[in-house]
Amino acid sequence: MAVYLVFVLGIGVALKRYMRTSNDFFLAGRSIPAWVCGLAFLSANLGAQEVIGMGASGAKYGLATSHFYWIGAVPAMVFVGIFMMPFYYGSKARSVPEYLRMRFDEKTRALNAVSFGIMTLFSSGISMYAMALLIQALGIFHGIVPDQYVFHVSVLISAVIVLAYIFLGGLTSAIYNEVLQFFLIVAGFLPLVYLGLRNIGGWHGLQTRLPETYMHSWRGMSHANTNPLGVEWFGLTMGLGFVLSFGYWCTDFLVVQRAMAADSEESARKVPLIAAIPKMVFPFLVILPGLIAVATPTVISHVNGASVTSSQGMIPVKMDPRTGAMQTDSKGQPVYNYDLAIPTLLLHYYPTGILGLGLTALLASFMSGMAGNVTAFNAVWTYDIYQSYLNKNATDAHYLKMGRWATVGGVILSVGAAYLVTGFNNIMDTLQLVFSLVNAPLFATFLLGMFWKRTTGHAAFAGLISGTTAALLHHGMTLPVGDAPGIHGAWLAHLHSYPGDMAQNFWTAIFAFSVNLIVTIVVSLLAKARPEEELVGLVYSLTPKPVEHHLPWYSRPMTLGIGVLAILLVLNLAFA
Q: Each residue of 71-102: pLDDT tens digit? A: 888 999 999 888 888 877 777 777 888 888 98
Q: How confident is the model at residue 507 (pLDDT cuts 50, 70, 90)?
A: very high
Calpha distance 110→380 (Å, rounded)? 10
Residue 276 CA: distances (Å) to CA of 42, 260, 279:
8, 17, 5
Helix, strand, coil shares, percent, the chain, to 5: 70, 5, 25
Average pLDDT (345-358) is 84
Residue type, 179: V
Q: 337 and 422 in contact (C-beta within 8 Å)?
A: no
Residue type, 234: F
Total length of the chain: 576
Residue type, 340: L
Average pLDDT (392-419) is 87
Q: 400 and 21 in contact (C-beta within 8 Å)?
A: yes
Quick check: 301 pLDDT over 50? no
Average pLDDT (224-250) is 84
Share of residues in the chain with pLDDT > 90 (%):
14
Calpha distance 108→97 (Å, rounded)? 8
Calpha distance 507→238 (Å, rounded)? 9
The DSSP-derived string for 313-372 is: TTPPBPB-TTT-PBPB-TTSPBPB-GGGHHHHHHHHHPPTTHHHHHHHHHHHHHHHHHHH
Quick check: 561 pLDDT over 60? yes
* pTM for the whole structure: 0.82
Q: pLDDT digit string (tens) for 136-155?
A: 777 777 788 887 788 888 88
Share of residues in the chain with pLDDT > 70 (%):
93
Q: For residue 549, give every residue at least 6 positions away whose Cβ sits within 8 Å of its Cβ, in sequence order, or none.
A: none
**What is the SS3 string spanning 282-299?**
CHHHHCHHHHHHHHCCCE
Residue 536 CA: distances (Å) to CA of 92, 106, 400:
13, 18, 31
Mean pLDDT score across all residues of the chain: 83
Q: 576 and 216 in contact (C-beta within 8 Å)?
A: yes
Q: 299 and 307 in contact (C-beta within 8 Å)?
A: yes
Residue type, 469: T
Q: 271 and 259 in contact (C-beta within 8 Å)?
A: yes
* Number of helical H runs and strand E runs in the chain: 24, 4
Calpha distance 518→521 (Å, rounded)? 5
Q: What is the pLDDT of residue 424?
A: 58
